[in-house]
Chains A and B, each alone.
Chain A
Amino acid sequence: MTLYRQEIIERFRFPRHRGVLKNSHAHAEKANMFCGDEIALYLRLDEKKERVAEARFDGQGCALMTASADILCEAVQGKTPDALRKFTADDLLRMYGEAPSPARLKCVLLPYEALKSATSLL
């Protein structure tokens, strides 16, 4: 059992959704003081402001946090703000796949914390 299956390594090395959205409708930053992980999450809605047209993340962090952020950005695309409000930590963990060890759970959930903050701004 590894915390680093191929998908996680690939998403860490070549994230598909890393970047800064200058025209975002919501943007939140979170950091984990303990390990120095930092994430900025950007959400841009479509023209009717009904659904997430694009989500991007930026920041510095471990492989688990980075891969989780990449998975999260993919997952929220096309979702309505209401659906985002109903999105839970367990939803993210399900998409993430393998359960991280207790010590690393906070890495995987930091992007979720950023999503909650960003969603509250929509």
Chain B
Amino acid sequence: MTLSGEVFIFITFVDTWAGGARIRYMDLGEAIRKDFPIYGRHRNAGAFVYLDSAATSLKPRVVIDAVKEYYEAYSTNVHRAAYSLAERATEEYEGVRATVAKFIGASRADEIIFTRNTTESFNMLARTYAEHFIKEGEGILLTEMEHHGNLIPWQELARRKSITLHFIPIDVATGVLVWNEQTFGAFLKERNIKLISLTHASNVLGTINPIAKISAIAHEAGVIIAVDGAQSTPHMPVNVQELGADFFAFSSHKMLGPTGIGILWGRYELLEKMPVFMVGGHMIDDVMQTRATYRQPPLKFEAGTPNVAGTIGFGAAVKYLLELGMDHVRTHEKMLLTAARGRLAGIPGISFLGPEDVEDRSGVLAFTLAGVHPHDIGSLCNEAGVMIRVGDHCARPLHKKLGIPASCRASFSVYNDIDDIDMLADVLKTVHQKLGTVSASITHDTLPAGNH
């Protein structure tokens, strides 16, 4: 079975070569690390194998330079330009809306609201749209695979307003949502669902959810659909209009941009109807002693001096990704996923979480190793210079459903390559030798490689 794993990889490479894909995508992976200064910093400090991009990604030079340029050359405030430098700051800052709109296929730049991160985007949505438009006794539909960022804001809203939360279950074996296209519309009406909020791609299972199918039925039933794009936007082409989303949230820091900047996109007519969130300076139209009027979206949702540097850095990250081409990124990550499943399948006791077919999953690969606690795996990987995430990945209800306290997760980005996967496989073999309790023969006799 170990052998079949190796052969699997070999065939993958031959196929890729034969299709010419390897030549087309040579600009990604190892070749692109020169753009990421952190690799240079750790060149002489042993292995530097970063496989935790789903937690946060590394940053390319262009992003760091854009932030540095703002602070060094025009670090002035936005939206109050009486002088040229502030005009430049405002132009650069506001220009990011159009860049981001293009990146996610939004029709208007003023549909892009700057937040701190995906979690803040969902808090904003829960406190504004949902708080105002969803009434006591009505329902919100989530899924069992949600990150806490798209769960706790709804729990709090449900508690405040006596709204009922419902969950689309997952199939533990395959990691996909269990729902029925034929009966879904009736289900939404029966449960009085007014809003669906679900992840585009699971941060644990990798599962890419059928958003377009779900939203088509949701809209027929008059239900609004919000999508957590934190784990899809860094890994694949995204078009919010094709998805049929009404709201879409994601974070800069997971897609090569700075920390502290995120996006809530919403259809403009919905944003117009939404009450304000944080209030204060910047977002006001006129202010009297006892009341104020507010600006149009998106500015009415952005109180106080915003994260100007982070936003400008995010703009640089999005441009960088657009230049690479998100279809290239996706193809590269599918190659890595295929290689990882093949290489790791030979490790005794390993079980992968989530869908088997790379077409159905994004660039994260979570796994467990029988008899070895994920935290031991994380520590031993760290000692070998391999950085993976261990724990519940902010998805504790999902882990409870899967019947495991924690899991290990390797996640990929544009700078990862086969050498990273080789290193991970080598370390996991050592982990198994040191701490594993499952004998190789038992595992291989009972579990076919790549299929467990």
The reply to whether the CB of B376 lies closer than 8 angstroms to some CB of chain A is: yes
Is the Cβ of A34 less than 8 Å from the Cβ of B391? yes
Residue on A nearest B431 in the bound complex, by CB = A4
Contact A3 B434 (CB under 8 A): no
Q: Is A63 an interface residue (CB 8 A)?
A: yes
B379 at the interface (CB under 8 A from A): yes
A62 to B383, Cβ gap below 8 A? no
Interface contact A12-B435, CB-CB below 8 Å: yes
Report the minimum CB–CB distance from B374 to chain A (whole Å): 8
| Given A34-B391, A35-B375, A104-B375, A63 and B405 contact (CB-CB distance below 8 Å) | no
Residues of B within 8 A of A104 (CB): 375, 379
Q: Is the CB of A35 within 8 A of B379?
A: no
Per-position 1/0 for B388-411, Cβ under 8 A of A: 000110000000000011100000
CB distance from B224 to the nearest CB of A (A): 34
Contact of A63 among B373, B383, B404 (CB under 8 A): B373
Inter-subunit contact A9/B434 (CB<8 Å): yes
A-chain residues with CB within 8 Å of residue B379 when the two chains form the complex: 3-4, 64, 101, 104
Most buried by B among A13, A36, A37: A36
Shortest Cβ distance from residue A70 to the other chain B in the assembled complex, whole angstroms: 14
Residues of B within 8 A of A61 (CB): 373
B435 contacts A13, CB within 8 Å? yes
Give min CB distance, A54 to chain B, whole Å.
Answer: 25
Q: What string of 1s and 0s marks CB contacts (under 8 Å) between B405-443 and chain A? A: 110000000000000000000000000001101000000
Nearest B-chain residue to A104, judged by Cβ: B379
Query: Is A118's CB within 8 Å of the partner chain B?
Result: no
A62 CA to B373 CA in the complex, in Å? 5
Residues of B within 8 A of A13 (CB): 435, 437
* Interface presence of B380 (CB below 8 A): yes
Q: Is the CB of A63 within 8 A of B435?
A: yes
Q: Does B383 lie within 8 Å of A2, measured CB to CB?
A: yes
Asked if A71 lies at the interface with its beta carbon under 8 angstroms from chain B, I say: no
Given contacts A3-B383, A35-B391, A36-B405, contact A62 B376 (CB under 8 A): yes
Q: A9-B435, A104-B375, A107-B375 are in contact. Are A4 and B380 (CB under 8 A)?
A: yes
Q: How far is the CB of A30 from chain B (nearest CB, A)?
A: 14
B437 pairs with A35, CB closer than 8 A: no
Contact B405 A35 (CB under 8 A): yes
* Residue among A4, A37, A62, A64 having the largest count of chain B Cβ atoms under 10 Å: A62
B-contact bits for A61-73, CB 8 A (1 contact / 0 none): 1111000000000
Cα separation A43 to B276 with both chains bound (whole Å): 60
A61-B373, A104-B375, A104-B379 known; A4-B405 Cβ under 8 A: no
List A contacts of B374 (CB < 8 A).
Answer: 35
Inter-chain contacts of A37 with B (CB < 8 A): 373, 405
Q: Which residues of B contact A64 (CB under 8 A)?
A: 375-376, 379
Assembled-state Cα–Cα distance A61/B374 (Å): 10
Q: Using Cβ atoms and an 8 Å threshold, which residues of chain A touch B372?
A: 63
Question: Which parts of A1-52 form the interface with B (CB within 8 Å)?
Answer: 2-4, 9, 12-13, 34-37
How far does the alpha carbon of A61 sit from the alpha carbon of B371 in the complex, in Å? 9
The digit string for B347-387, where 1 denotes a CB below 8 A from any CB of A, is: 00000000000000000000000001111100110010000
The CA of A55 and the CA of B433, in the complex, are separated in Å by 29
A35 to B374, CA, bound (A): 8
Q: Whole-angstrom distance from the CB of A109 to the nearest CB of chain B?
A: 14
Q: What's the Cα separation between A36 and B375 when bound, in Å?
A: 10
- Whole-angstrom CA separation of A13 from B436 in the bound complex: 9
- Chain A nearest Cβ from B371, distance in angstroms: 9
Provide the bound-state CA to CA distance between A64 and B406, in Å: 16
The residue in B376, B380, B435 that gathers the most chain A C-beta atoms within 10 A of its C-beta is B376
Distance between Cα atoms of A36 and B373 in the complex (Å): 9
> A3 — which chain B residues lie within 8 A by C-beta?
379, 383
Give 8 nearest A-B pairs by CB, closest first.
A36-B405, A62-B373, A63-B376, A62-B376, A62-B375, A3-B379, A35-B375, A2-B383
B residues with CB within 8 A of A: 372-376, 379-380, 383, 391-392, 404-406, 434-435, 437
Please report A residues at the B interface, Cβ cutoff 8 Å: 2-4, 9, 12-13, 34-37, 61-64, 101, 104, 107
Additional pairs, 15, CB under 8 Å, beyond known A4-B383, A12-B435, A13-B435: A2-B383, A3-B383, A4-B434, A9-B435, A13-B437, A34-B391, A34-B392, A36-B404, A37-B405, A62-B375, A63-B372, A63-B435, A64-B379, A104-B375, A104-B379
